[in-house]
Amino acid sequence: MYFVQSLFKTALLASLAFNALACPIDRELTQVVVQPTTTLPTVAECRAQLKAGNTLFYSGPGGYQQLAEEAISSRPYPHDYQILVQKWKDPSWPNPWVGGPDPKVVSGFFDVCSEALAQMATGTAYVLLPKLGPGEKGTDWFTGSVWARIERPNVPAGVKMIRVIPDDVDWKETIKG
């Protein structure tokens, strides 16, 4: 009896090993399906996925997205405005780029789609930026930010830009237009 069990066990292990070697395509397909895409969408593809309407841009140290969302919901002047993540026609569309583990892909995705958002701005747009320090003027901001590198340069010429700050609901400064 022991001999039969041992023979059966050996045959079963051999069969499993053979199947694992004989089916490398399944293993490769599984790996391909799970890998996030690294091909970024174009600006035109992002534009096609964004709803038109009033835009609130924001830039600042950690937590500014939440501050922008709070400004939209609590202030009277940008109340009907939206930030980028609120403008997707299909909220799941960004998932292949923002759901992956590669921060360069996530950053690249938001760079491209932020450019698209800026190009779509019309009328008056607001930008929530940190409070100005002594001696700073309205156009002083962190030069490496998405706002400075991508959004501001791509806002169309006829759009009026108003800078607001998180700490003072009544403080507004026209920085363009």
Which H or E run includes 116?
helix 103-119
How many other CB atoms sit within 10 Å of the CB of residue 89? 9
> Distance of CA 129 to CAs 57, 61, 162, Å?
9, 9, 10
Q: What is the mean pLDDT of the chain?
A: 81
The confidence score (pLDDT) of residue 80 equals: 86
Q: How large is the average pLDDT for residues 24-51?
A: 68
Distance separating alpha carbons of residues 13 and 22, to the nearest angstrom: 14
Total-model pTM: 0.75
Distance separating alpha carbons of residues 50 and 122, to the nearest angstrom: 14
Please give the distance of CA 84 from its chain centroid, rounded to a whole number: 8
**Token output for 120:** 């779509």
> Distance of CA 175 to CAs 14, 22, 91, 151, Å?
73, 65, 31, 14
The confidence score (pLDDT) of residue 59 equals: 92
Distance separating alpha carbons of residues 150 and 7, to the nearest angstrom: 68
Select the more confidently predicted residue: 36 or 40.
Answer: 40
Residue-wise pLDDT for 123-170, tens only, equals 999 999 988 777 777 667 778 899 999 999 999 999 999 999 998 888
